[in-house]
Structure 1
Amino acid sequence: MHTPPRIAFQGVAGAFSEQAALQFCPHAEAVGYSTFQEGFAAAVSGACDYACLPVENSLAGSINQTYDLLTDSVLHVVGEQVVRVEHNLLVVPGTKLADVRRVYSHPQALEQCRGFLTRHGFEAVTDFDTAGAAKLLAERQENGGAHGHAAIASKRAAEIYGLEILAANIEDTDFNYTRFFILGADEVPRGEGEHKTSLVIATRHRPGDLVRCLELFPRHGINMTKLESRPRRDKPWSYLFYIDIEGHLDDANVQAAVTGLMRRAAFVKFLGSYPAAPSVSEVAS
């Protein structure tokens, strides 16, 4: 382990992924990578101690790239973080709202602020990342090419790149949260508080096989909090099912359910047991 620990994330400084990484470990060194794959590979190789990657957004749904990377991975889920996504219109200091013509950001951020952009008649321009759009805006300022341009990004991005928040919380709905997995090479011992366990399974092509697998959870008093299907990359028209349940693998009822899954499913992979993140209501407060 590095001291302080290094946590890989996708994006540049000021990204919501960086915020999640620093929530997990405030004294960590957050290291940005261009793609999910590169951040993931950094944790696998040991260049970083952990990777912090998004798995789902409360508005847009699951982020399939992360799940696909996990399927064949040697990494374990060792934690989760939930970040409240607050979008802000960032500009070069001194820019007025009437000066803005084009707004740059990640496609998802632009879509989540569609109402604001439409009301003001702004042209939406896609960029690879929210914080990346803020960084490029600051660089355009240095080259004298930022006139009429703005970016949608976080408050932290504004602080890092010397930009001004012209309008805050411009998203169309405030119920906007992203859940992140913290991935590491080693499992973590069970601690205090509530835990979750993540699994991936495949079932046989027989009537009722998925139901026979899932019924094990209520039978053992376990609450399932997520079920997501993804196509298998080695078998056409076959699917993997990603499952989150409440509880830790060390719990007797979870052990019993997983043992039952191993008997019934065609394939079972344990992704990790980890401390549950605070609820959305706690994050909002």
Structure 2
Amino acid sequence: MVVAPAATVAFLGPLGTFTYQAARNYFGVHAHYLTQPTIEDVFTAVEKGTSQYGVVPIENSSAGTVGPTLQRLLTSARNFKELPNPIYIRDQAYLPISQCLLSRCSSLSDIRVVYSHAMGFKQCTQWLARTLPQAEHINVSSTARAAELASNQPHTAAIGSAVCAQVFPIQVLSRDIQDANDNVTRFFILSRTPSESTGNDQMYLSFTVNHSQPGSLGKALTEFRQNQLNLSMIDSIPANDRPWHYYFLVESTGHHRDPQAADLLCKLRSICEEVHVFGSYPYRRCKTVESSS
């Protein structure tokens, strides 16, 4: 994706988060970066036009999908017609993740509390159980926020990036504490304008089916095969307003404006209760994205 040198980019802050690093890698040093306290606020900044682009984490190779991002995508999709500026997933980026233990303490035995984002804890479960079994775990909005808190409190530590030690008065006690060596997080690039087809794309969509009708999910998934579109991911999350009803989130090959994908979407809309397209983006897999500036 080609972007203007002075693009405005909203990201989950504060400075030092992995999302910030992914945004800098993608948009370069000349973009104007807007820190946001939550993933919800990143979406809102793009919807309101405060920022041209947004960067949000969508999944980690070992800890799975990021719930707040999935929930906010669905909220945006369901309010699509009411939004003055609906947003789309326009591209994706990958970032290798090296988790560190950050603290003002000089010894691990002095640590009583560890702060991190929920995904940070998930990625370091074994190391924490083995090395800091005595420590209490407290979830916060981001790994950089965790480092900020730990930099101001005794007997505490944070799980986050080594970059945080350059932003806050805190030191790196241990490096590479993640359980999986190949630890990568994928991020979505959000925009108010959809992408153009490149001929080698992926698309992200959701649908709901009649749960009381046998085979309704299987029938919907069969349409992907019949249109020769390969599924790379399927997930489900509960519908908050309908108990025991689920949204299925699917990633597949194709661009929603290409003939094959357009035919698929037409068929899905005829057999599903709801269908929402979040966007299409160039296919990339398990590699970082070079800066576009």
> For the superposition of Structure 1 and Structure 2, which TM-score range results when normalised by the shorter chain?
0.7 to 0.9
Contact 1:117–1:124, Cα closer than 8 Å, also in 2 = no
Contact 2:63–2:123, Cα closer than 8 Å, also in 1 = no
Q: 1:30 aligns with which of 26, 33, 49?
A: 33
Q: 1:156 aligns with which of 144, 151, 163?
A: 163
| TM-score scaled by length of structure 1 | 0.85
Q: 2:183 aligns with which of 165, 169, 176?
A: 176
* Equivalent residue letter for 2:183: N
Q: Deviations over 1:173-207 (max 9, x none)?
A: 22432222211111122236x31111111223422
* Equivalent residue letter for 2:255: H
* Equivalent residue letter for 1:183: L
Residue 111 of structure 1: how far off its partner (Å): 4.3
Q: Deviations over 1:148-167 (max 9, x none)?
A: 44322102212222533222
CA RMSD of aligned residues (A): 2.5
Q: 2:203 aligns with which of 190, 193, 197?
A: 197
| TM-score scaled by length of structure 2 | 0.83
Contact 1:82–1:177, Cα closer than 8 Å, also in 2 = yes
Residue 49 of structure 1: how far off its partner (Å): 1.1
Q: Deviations over 1:226-270 (max 9, x none)?
A: 111222233333222111101212333222222221222222112
CA distance in 1, matches of 2:50, 2:31: 14
In the other structure, the counterpart of 1:69 is 72
CA distance in 2, matches of 1:118, 1:206: 45
Contact 1:232–1:239, Cα closer than 8 Å, also in 2 = yes
CA distance in 1, matches of 2:269, 2:149: 50
Q: Closer, same or farther in 2 for the Cα pair 1:283/1:97, shift >3 Å?
A: farther
3-state SS of paired residue (1:215): helix
In the other structure, the counterpart of 2:143 is 130
In the other structure, the counterpart of 1:84 is 96
Q: Closer, same or farther in 2 for the Cα pair 1:60/1:186, shift >3 Å?
A: same
In the other structure, the counterpart of 1:115 is 126
Gaps of 5+ in 1: none
Q: Closer, same or farther in 2 for the Cα pair 1:267/1:87, shift >3 Å?
A: same
User: How many residues end up aligned between the 2 structures?
Assistant: 273
3-state SS of paired residue (1:77): strand
Contact 2:230–2:253, Cα closer than 8 Å, also in 1 = yes
Alignment identity in percent? 29
Gaps of 5+ in 2: 77-85
In the other structure, the counterpart of 2:266 is 259
3-state SS of paired residue (2:57): strand
